A and B are shown apart, each in its own frame.
Chain A
Amino acid sequence: MSTETESTVTESAPDTVATAPAASDRQSLRQWWAEHRRLRRFFLKAGVLLALAWLLLVIVSAIFAPLIAPHDPNAQDLSHVNSGISASHWLGTDDLGRDVLSRLIWGGRISMQVTFETVGLALVFALVIGLIAGFRGGRVDYLLMRGADAGLAFPPLVLALAVVAVLGSGVNDIALAFALVFAPGFARFVRGQTLAIKEESFVEASTSIGSSPTIIVIKRILPNVLTGLTVGIAIALGAALLAESGLSFLGLGPPPPEAGWGSMLEEAYNTSLFTHPWSLVPAGLVIALTVLAFNTLGDAGRDTVSGTPVRKRGSGRPQRGLTTVSRPAAAVAAADPPRTEPSALLEVRHLTIEFQTEAGPVCVVDDATFDVRASRIVGLVGESGCGKTVSSLAILRLLATPPARIVGGSILFDGQDLLDADFDDMQNIRGRDIAMIFQDPLASLDPSFTIGFQLVEAIRLHEKVSKAAAQARAVDLLKSVHIPDAARRLTAYPHQLSGGMRQRVMIAMALSCSPRLLIADEPTTALDVTVQAQIVELLHELRERQELAVLFVTHDLALISEFSDEIAVMYAGEVVEHAPTDDLFARPRHPYTAALLAATPGVREATGRPSLLAGHVPQAGHFPEGCRFHPRCGFAEDACREQPVALEQVSEDRQCRCLRQAELDLPGVGVVIGKSSEVDPVGAP
C-alpha cells in the first residue's frame, strides 16, 4: 500500500481499551490519548491526506456543480468536436463538442449520489436484519441468515442486474439494487455485534433493572457497528462506485441527461475508440482515482482500528532464515585470543545481540560467554527477559532479522565460527551437528504436514537415503522416544497428538541425524508437570545412550538441577556465573545465583529463609550502570555502581561476575534439591 509510510511503526504500549462502563477519569484520559495518537497517525499518512483531498474535491464539485462547471455539460458545439486541451476546455471536448470537464463534474453528481445512496440503504437494511436476527435468534435468525447466504451466493453484479431488469435504471432503482448486494455482508456483522453485546452481563443487568433490552442493544450497538463498519463502509463506497460505473458502462445506468462517469466512458467507447482513444482516459481515470481514494481510507482505517502496526518489527528487509551478523572487524580479533586449552564443543564468547526498535537499537544480550563441552548437559538459567532464549536462538542464527542483529562476539562450534558461516554452511550444520527443540511443540510443528513427512524431511535434508529407508528410520526414532504404535503415528497430524507426544516427536526429529549438540529452549514449560518429568527423563536417557551434549535453557532451577552437569546463570543479558551444578548449589558465588536458589520453590519451604529477590529484571535498553544486579543486590557497594563488572575465572571450573565474590560467603542449599525429589520413571503414557 502506498499508505505505509516510514513513520508508522510499533505501538509500544498495549492499548487496552477499558470495557467497564464506568471507567475512571484517568483511564478515560489515557484511552483518549491512545485514540488521539491513533487518529493522528491515521491523518499523518501521506496517502490518507491525498485521498481525503481528492474525495473532498470530488464531493464539493459534485454538490456545487452548477456554480463550478465552466460550461453547460449538455451544450453541444459541433464546430469544436473532439478538440484537445485548451484554455476554455481544460480537458477538451467530446464527440459532440461538449466540455469534458463540465461533464465530469456533473457526472460526479450522479455517480456520487448512487454510491452514497447505495451504501446508506445497505446499512439501513443491514441494521434492521442484523438486529432482528441477533436479537430474536432461533428460527428467525436461521431464516434471515440463510437469506444473507443466498444474497452472498449471487455474483454481485448479476444480482444487481436482475433487480435492475425489473425495476428499471433510475438513480434510486440502481442504488436499491446495489444495496441488496452489500446488505448481506453488513447484516452478518451487525448480527455478530448484537450477539456479542447481548451476552454481556451489563445488558443482563440493565434488563433486570427494567429498561428494555432492545433499546439498550440499539444504543450500544449503533456506535459499535458504525465504528466497526467504518472500514467496511469505505471499501463498500469504492465497490459501489465501481459497480455503478460498470452498470452504466453496460448502458443500464441512469438515462441521459443523468449521465454518470460510467455512461461517459460508454459513450466515448462507442463513438471514439478507433478515432480518439484519448477520450477514454478522463472518465476512467476519475473513477479509478476515486475508488483508490476510498480504498486507501479503508486500508489506513483498518491499520488504525486494529492497531496492527504496518511494520511489526523494525524497518528494513527481512533476511529469511539467517540472523544478520555485523561485527566490527576489530572486535572479532579482540574476542578471539589464541588459546592453548583443549577447546569445548561449543564456545560462546562475548556474544552481543541488538534488537532494532522504534527508539533505536537496544542491546538484549551483552557479552554472553559460556562453553558446552562434548557430552555434557549445561543448563542456561535465568528469569524471563534475561536473554537466555535469545542467546540460544542466536547459536543456530535463528533470530529474525529485523529486528535482531548479532553485533559482537563469536560462537565457535568445533572450532568453526558460526558467525562467519553463510546460509549454506549453516544449513548443513542445523539439524545434523546441532539440533534444537522449542518451548511450544504444537506451534513448532507444521500443522499442515504429517509427523511422518516432517521426520522424513529432517532425515533426507542431510542424508541421501531413499524415502522408504527414511520412513523406517522415522519409525525407529519414534520408538526411541517411547511413542507407542509408532508406525501408525507417521500419518498423524500434530493436532491429533497430546502435548507430551508432540514434544517427543520434536525430540525424535531433533535427534534424527544424531547431532552432537542439542539446544533445548524451555522444552517443558508448555507441558503439565507429569509430562514435564517424563520429557526430562527422556532427555536424560537419550544422553546416556548416545554421545550428546545438551544446552538446556530454562527458568526452573529445580528442574535443571536434576540432570545437568553445569549451570550458566544469566542476568540482564549477561552470564553472571558458570559452575558445575553441585558446586553452584552448594556454594553460589554470585548474589543473584544465591537469590535465585533461595527463591526456588521447595528451597524456601525447606530452609525457611526469606526470598532475597525483590524487584524485576531490568528491561533491555534500561540496564543499570555498573554491575547490572546492584539495584537488587543486598551486598552492593559503591564500587558496584561505578563500572561494568567482568566475568572472572574464579577457579579451574568456575566463572563469576561479581566484585565481591571472594569476600562474600553466600548460602547454598547443601544438597541439590532436585536429586532428592522423586521423578516418575518414564513409561508408555
Chain B
Amino acid sequence: MGRLILRRLLSLVPVLLIVSFAIFFLLALVPGDPAVTLAGGVSATPAQIAHVRAQLHLNDPLIVQYGRWLGNALHGNLGTSISTGQSVSQQIEARFPVTFGLVVVSAIVALIVGIPVGLISGIRPQGAIDGGARTFSTLGLAIPSFWLAVILVSVFAVHWKLFPPTGYTAITSSFTGWLHDIILPAIVLGVLVGASLARQLRASLIDTLDTPYIRTAWAKGGTRRSVLLHHGLKNAAMPVVTVFGIQIGYLLGGAVIIEQIFSIPGLGTYMLSGITDHDLPVVQGVALVFVLFSMAMSLLVDISYGFLNPKVRVA
C-alpha cells in the first residue's frame, strides 16, 4: 500500500511541473504589453506601469521569471496582489478552509443522495423507485448548478425564508451558524454529483449482481443483506469510486459558481475578483491551489480504491 501511494505521488511530479508551467505562462497570453494591461489598461499612469513591471520582473526573460515564480511557489510564496498589494498566499490560506468545508459537505451530500438511490435502483431495476431515481439522475446531469441554486434560493431563502439567501459564518465562530449557511450551497453542489453517482452505482450494481460470485454467495445460503450489501456493494463500488474521483474536479469548479451566488468568501470568489481586477498573481495562485487540491482529492480516491480492490493493493 505504501508503495502504491509513493508510486502515485511520483507520477504526479511531471504533471505538476507542466501544470505550473501552464499557469505561469498565462502571463505570456496577456494581450499587448502585460505591464500596461495588468496595471489597468489605458488609464494606468506610467508610475503604476513601472510598479507592475518591477513587481513581476517583466524585464527578465520569461524562463527566468518562471524559475523565480516556481521557486517562490515552492516556498509558499505566490506573490502579491496587484490591486490590493496583499500577499496572495495569506489570502489563500484564509480562504482555503472555506472552500474545503463547502466541498467536503457537498461530497457528503453527494454520497448521502447517490449511494441509497443507486443501491435501491440497482437492486430493483424497473421498480417505481428506480423510475424516479433514473429521472432524477438524468435531470441531475442536465440541470445547470447555478439554475438549481437560483431556484432553491428563491424557494427556500426568499419565499420560505428557511435559509439565508447569501452570507457565510466562519466555522470557528459558530458551527451551527456555519452549517446553516453552507447547507443550501452544499446541497446544490452535492445533489447533482449525487445524481451521477447514483447512475453509476446502479449500472455497476446491475452488472455485479449478474456475476458468478454473486450466484455463489446465494448458493452458500447468503441472506439478502450479506449478498447485496457485502458482496454486491463492495464489488460494485469500484467503478463508482473512479467516477467519484472525476466528479471532485467538477465539484471544485462548481464551487466557484456557487460561492459567487451565495457570497461565500472562498477561493472561487477570490479568483473571480482576480479576474475582474486583471490581477494575474491572484488568478495564477488560486488556479495552482485548485489544481493541487483536485490532485490531492483524486490521490485520496485512488488510495481508497486500493483498499477496495485487493488486486491493486498487492500489485
Contacts and interface: CB of A to CB of B under 8 A. Distances in A.
A2 B135 contact: yes
Contact of A166 (B126, B223, B280, B314): B280
Given A292-B142, A295-B141, A443-B213, A153 B219 contact: no
B22 A150 contact: yes
Interface stretch (B56-64, B83-91, B180-188, B253-261): B253-261
Contact of A495 (B217, B222, B287, B310): B310
Contacts of A312: 210
Interface stretch (B25-33, B68-76, B111-119): B25-33
Contact of B220 (A147, A295, A423, A458): A458
A383 interface: no
B146 interface: yes
B223 A280 contact: no
Given A432-B221, A435-B219, A153 B147 contact: no
B18 A446 contact: no
13 contacts: A161-B283, A165-B274, A166-B29, A287-B147, A292-B142, A318-B125, A321-B218, A431-B220, A435-B220, A438-B219, A440-B212, A443-B212, A458-B220
Interface string B8-25: 000000111011001100
A428 B206 CA distance: 25
Nearest to A432: B221
A522 B146 CA distance: 57
Contacts of A315: 126
B158 A277 contact: yes
A295 B158 CA distance: 32
Interface string A557-578: 0000000000000000000000
Contact of B147 (A154, A284, A449, A457): A284
Q: Which 8 A-B pairs have the closest CB atoms?
A: A157-B253, A431-B221, A284-B147, A292-B142, A155-B252, A430-B221, A150-B18, A155-B253
Contact of B142 (A166, A295, A443): A295
Nearest to B220: A431
A64 to B, nearest CB: 25
Nearest to B20: A150
Given A284-B150, A318-B125, 4 more contacts: A150-B15, A166-B31, A447-B235, A461-B223
A274 interface: yes
A166 B26 contact: yes
A445 B212 CA distance: 8
B260 to A, nearest CB: 6
A511 B165 CA distance: 64
Contact of A444 (B19, B159, B213): B213
B117 to A, nearest CB: 15
Contacts of B211: 443
A639 interface: no
B39 interface: no
Contacts of A496: 314
Contacts of A320: 123-124, 209, 224, 227-228
Interface string A269-292: 100011001001000100111011
Interface string A13-55: 0000000000000000000000000000000000000000000
B289 to A, nearest CB: 10
A467 interface: no
Given A167-B31, A249-B146, A320-B209, A153 B294 contact: yes
B230 to A, nearest CB: 8
A393 B212 CA distance: 12
Contacts, number: 245
Contacts of A495: 310-311
Contacts of B274: 165
A447 B291 contact: no
Interface string B279-315: 0100110110011001100000000000011110010
A245 B252 contact: no
A158 interface: yes
Interface string A145-175: 0110110111111110111111110000000
B254 A430 contact: no
Interface string A517-529: 0000000000000
A379 B280 CA distance: 79
A452 B232 CA distance: 18
B218 to A, nearest CB: 5
A221 interface: no
User: Could you tell me the dominant secondary structure of chain A's interface residues?
Assistant: helix
Interface string A484-518: 00000000010110000000001001000000000
A146 B176 CA distance: 44
Contact of B271 (A153, A161, A287): A161
B263 interface: no
Nearest to B157: A273
A429 B272 CA distance: 65
A166 B280 CA distance: 8
A1 interface: yes
B45 interface: no
Contacts of A292: 138-139, 141-142
Contacts of B213: 443-447
Nearest to A275: B158
A292 B140 CA distance: 9
Interface string A405-449: 000000000000000000100011111100110101001111111
Contacts of B31: 166-168
A430 B141 contact: no
Given A155-B250, A438-B216, A265 B275 contact: no
Contact of A316 (B126, B228, B254, B276): B126
B310 A165 contact: no
A605 B210 CA distance: 42
Interface string B179-218: 0000000000000000000000000000001111101111
Contacts of B165: 273
B231 interface: yes
A454 B145 CA distance: 44
B216 A444 contact: yes
Given A153-B295, A427-B222, A245 B250 contact: no
Given A292-B138, A457-B220, A157 B256 contact: yes
B153 interface: yes
Contacts of A427: 221-223
B310 A493 contact: yes
Interface in B119-142: 123-127, 134-135, 138-139, 141-142
B59 to A, nearest CB: 19
Contacts of A150: 15-16, 18-19, 22
Given A150-B22, A155-B252, A250-B260, A448 B235 contact: yes
B55 interface: no
A242 interface: yes
B215 A274 contact: no
Nearest to B246: A152
Nearest to B14: A146
B151 interface: yes
A42 B112 CA distance: 35
A278 to B, nearest CB: 9
B42 interface: no
A158 B253 contact: yes
**Interface hub of B26, B29, B147 (most chain A Cβ within 10 A):** B147
Nearest to A313: B210
A597 interface: no
Contacts of B18: 146-147, 149-150
B144 A287 contact: yes
Contacts of B22: 150
A238 interface: yes
Nearest to A459: B220
Contacts of B290: 154-155, 158
A262 B138 CA distance: 21
A154 B18 CA distance: 11
Nearest to A317: B126
A398 interface: yes
Nearest to A458: B220
A462 interface: yes
